[in-house]
Amino acid sequence: MKNTLKIAGFFFLTINFCQGQNLVPNPGFEIYSNEFCGIMWSSEFNGTMIDWINPSGGAPQVFFTNNADTCYNHQPTSLYDGPIGIKGSQIPHSGNVMVGLWLYTISDLNQRQYVQTELITPMIAGHTYRVEFYVSLADSMEKSIDKIGAYLSAYQINSGSSDPLNYSPQIVAEDFIDDAVNWVLISDTIWAEDDYAYITIGNFYNDNATNTIENPLSSGAPGTYGAFYFLDDVKIEEINTTGTNEINVNDFSVFPTMVIDELTITLLKKSSINIYNSLGQVVFSKQQNNGVIKVNMSGFSKGVYIVSIQNNNGFISRKVIK
């Protein structure tokens, strides 16, 4: 299968960035204790996958291309003839292994599955990072959803329940991820507000706050209700501009983060400002000695924008939503 890159409502800046190591251990789920065959119960994920755990009462699945083709969790095109019909032609984005998560089941049941790992080294508060992972809708599922996201935390989070975890993810795909053929990249650039040491991936919103659309490829087979997604290749990298440091947060302000018509940027020293849309295109550019800049965004399309500010102290970026 051709792996096509598709950015779902987010992008990452590529302006003279120096990228560091991936802080995520076992990012492609290729390190495991055994080639499990079958449907996993909650505890079996933790016993199979190295570095990653199941932080809730749900039961994430691991899919292999190198186990027996009669196994439920063989990909692609498993010959499993049991009652649960999550099958498809998807292969991992890389390697031989990928994870599967039920991110929405039957309306109002509010059932979720998550995966979590401790970072190799914690993120540093005040530094900028790119966070990304790939997802693909399982072919035969009933629905697709929006709101797939990742939550970064300084401490491990866990729950014995399969209910949505009650946290606000820093990375959220606002668009529907409805591609059951290609891998979809969910990516964002964030400013770490804490020394984040863990990443948890899933759907953190309850059923009422999660939007769904019908999947035209739905098979209607038993067990294909809701929205089930494959997940692969998780990455967190620190990003800095070449030869510069990050601007002191007291040197500027960007307000509001949810823009209706006008964005206000306040500068304490001479800076260059660029605003990028979700395609990475510059939609506003200006140099300013100091003071207040009013950016009229009334004509901008709705979506995510990145405000890039650079001065002789360094570089920083902020996300705003129109």
CA distance 143 to 148: 13
Domain limits for position 312 = 252-321
Q: Where are the alpha helices (DSSP H) in the chain?
A: 42-48
186 and 302 in a single domain? The answer is no
Asked, for residue 64, whether it belongs to a domain, the answer is: yes
Q: How many CB atoms lie within 10 A of CB 266?
A: 14
Find the CATH number of the domain harbouring 306. Answer: 2.60.40.3080
160 and 279 in a single domain? The answer is no
Structural contact between residues 174 and 199, judged by C-beta atoms closer than 8 angstroms? no
53 and 185 in a single domain? The answer is yes
Structural contact between residues 304 and 317, judged by C-beta atoms closer than 8 angstroms? no
Asked, for residue 145, whether it belongs to a domain, the answer is: yes
91 and 220 in a single domain? The answer is yes
Read off the pLDDT of residues 187-211 as tens digits, 9 standing for 90 and up. Answer: 888 888 889 999 999 999 999 999 9
Given a cut of 80, whether residue 48 has pLDDT beyond it is yes
Structural contact between residues 150 and 135, judged by C-beta atoms closer than 8 angstroms? no
Structural contact between residues 19 and 239, judged by C-beta atoms closer than 8 angstroms? yes
Which of 47-51, 186-190, 245-249, 313-317 reaches the highest mean pLDDT?
Answer: 47-51
Cis bond before residue 76 (omega within 30° of 0): yes
Find the CATH number of the domain harbouring 96. Answer: 2.60.120.260
Element containing residue 62 per DSSP (H, E) = strand 61-64
**C-alpha torsion sign, points 54, 60, 66, 69:** positive
- pTM of the model as a whole: 0.73
76 and 120 in a single domain? The answer is yes
CA distance 201 to 106: 20
Read off the pLDDT of residues 65-88 as tens digits, 9 standing for 90 and up. Answer: 999 999 999 999 888 887 676 667
226 and 270 in a single domain? The answer is no
